[in-house]
Amino acid sequence: MQDILINWAPQETRVAIVENGAVQELHVERALERGQVGNIYMGRVARVLPGMQSAFVDIGLERAAFLHVADVHVAGQPHAGSRGDAAQPTPIERLVFEGQTLVVQVIKDAIGTKGARLSTQISIAGRLLVFLPQDDHIGISQKIGSPELREQLRARMNRLAATADGSPTGGFILRTNAEDAGDDELADDIAYLRKTWAAVRERGFASPPGTLLYQDLSLVERVLRDLAHDATGAIRIDSRMQFDILKAFGDEYTPGSAAKLEHYKGERPIFDLFNIDAEIARALARRVDLKSGGYLIIDQTEALTTIDVNTGGFVGARNFDDTIFKTNLEAAQAIARQLRLRNLGGIIIIDFIDMGREEHQGAVLAELRKQLARDRTKVTVSGFTQLGLVEMTRKRTRESLAHLLCEPCPTCAGKGQVKTARSVCYDILREILREARQFNPREFRVIASAAVVEMLLDEESQHLAGLSEFIGKPISLAAEATMSPEQYDIVLL
């Protein structure tokens, strides 16, 4: 059984999914930094790049967005989600041209220096269905039951989606939570989605490029649509105003989830109930301690995320092989949770502790796959490589928790380390010598951090005096409290 806690403020919404007293997922949405995934825009093609089979499209955001040929809808071809790999795409220069206006949808937020990724294959998510206005096929979630049940659902959907006058119906994908839905619920979702799309098209006819035509639901609304399910016990929200808004939305679109809504009136902040703020702080740390005494080191880079497993102080088992095996099993459970908690995506490399026995490797991989099966985000695990590493990918659509809440350190510029005071001292001595060959000031004044100045006055005083004598100029020192360890200035007086 899981509980969903919603902490709402005008500037930020935070959602925690808690199972058995432990936080499993965290979702954060800020009013001024709301993600664009799912949004539909009227775009204008700014540049076509045949060599990359892609185009840059201006949708009114800070950076031009990116459209790849694989994400361009071509009439008569099925939606990307159902298209076989064998389909040979038409070259992008024959599909779009500079200055062309296109209705596009964001499928991946801008991350780091990369602009948002777009598709012209539009899809609009409802409570039970995903609507594909440019298609006419019915798709069924692979997580739904048996092939026989999927065929029954497909037949029902074909009947419900048919229009009396035979006009184009659009395609639909049944979401996992549609498995037990009645005909009335499905029909309501079909009508809602078609109405939404009709409004988007109407707006598109009269809107200039850069116009937002449709915005996906807010995080609190997506809690009811996407995050709540049969195993959800209670959905508690700490804002009376938002509770009333959410209740009205839920009663219309997600009555099953709306019945679980509760207004939290406690004096303690809602996130204090399960110590969630401390969990967020731990989710931003490199090191994750395991109950056994082992630990994980998680490093997130632009290209990939690496996770290193270490035994630490765990010596509980009778022999070393069992110690390693039990640490790796515990690590597999913790890694799956950390990926959800931190919203880590892209390529992920896991360095489990080396195991000598193949059955141990197989058991750890099976445990990892079992734990990852709970993830609502698409995950692919490739298994152990020749180097003993596990390669996997997790679909990345939004910024990770660390990228959302943090920024690179201004002192180390994201390197994670700074030069020692001695290294900076030697940089300063070399710089003074270089400048003494070009200029002839009365005096050199060094302004640096207190630690650097202290070292120049103490341990490096002999070298400083020797340089002063060699260049024939006095060198004075001044400490500046606001300077970072690597910063310094050399002033010519």
What pLDDT was estimated at residue 293?
86
Pairing of strands 444-448, 475-479: parallel
Answer with the residue of higher pLDDT: 411 or 6: 6
- Topology alike, domains 2-34+218-276 and 286-398: no
Q: What value does the mean pLDDT take over residues 157-164? A: 81
Answer with the residue of higher pLDDT: 148 or 117: 117
Handedness of CA 234, 235, 237, 243 (dihedral sign): negative
In CATH terms, the superfamily for domain 421-492 is: Ribonuclease E, catalytic domain (3.40.1260.20)
CATH number of 2-34+218-276: 3.30.420.60
Query: Which of these ranges, 2-11, 131-140, 426-435, has the smallest mean pLDDT?
Result: 131-140
What pLDDT was estimated at residue 83?
44
Q: What value does the mean pLDDT take over residues 313-334? A: 79
For the chain, the domains span 2-34+218-276, 40-214, 286-398, 421-492
Residue 49 confidence (pLDDT) above 90: yes
Which tokens hold the place of 382? 């490739």
Which SS3 state, helix, strand or coil, does residue 101 take? strand
The pLDDT mean for the chain works out to 87
What pLDDT was estimated at residue 348?
95
Query: Which of these ranges, 75-79, 295-299, 368-372, 442-446, has the smallest mean pLDDT?
Result: 75-79
- pLDDT tens digits along 393-419: 998 767 788 888 888 888 887 778 899
Tell me if 92 sits within 8 A of 48, measured CB to CB.
Answer: yes
Given pLDDT bands bounded at 50, 70 and 90, which one contains residue 5? very high
Residue 81 confidence (pLDDT) above 50: no
Q: What separation in angstroms does the CA of 126 have from each of 17, 129, 182?
A: 21, 5, 15
The CATH architecture that domain 40-214 belongs to is Beta Barrel (2.40)
Residue 167 confidence (pLDDT) above 70: no
Answer with the residue of higher pLDDT: 55 or 135: 55
What pLDDT was estimated at residue 31?
84
Which tokens hold the place of 219? 């995080």
Q: What value does the mean pLDDT take over residues 34-43? A: 90
Tell me if 368 sits within 8 A of 390, measured CB to CB.
Answer: yes
CA distance 21 to 195: 41
The CATH architecture that domain 286-398 belongs to is 3-Layer(aba) Sandwich (3.40)
Given pLDDT bands bounded at 50, 70 and 90, which one contains residue 238? very high
CA distance 15 to 409: 27
The beta-strand segments (E) located in 359-464 are 379-384, 390-394, 444-448
Residue 314 confidence (pLDDT) above 60: no
Residue 29's DSSP bridge partners are 13
What pLDDT was estimated at residue 53?
92
Q: What value does the mean pLDDT take over residues 94-102? A: 93
Position 473, amino acid? K
- pLDDT tens digits along 202-227: 998 888 999 999 988 889 988 888 88
Given pLDDT bands bounded at 50, 70 and 90, which one contains residue 195? confident
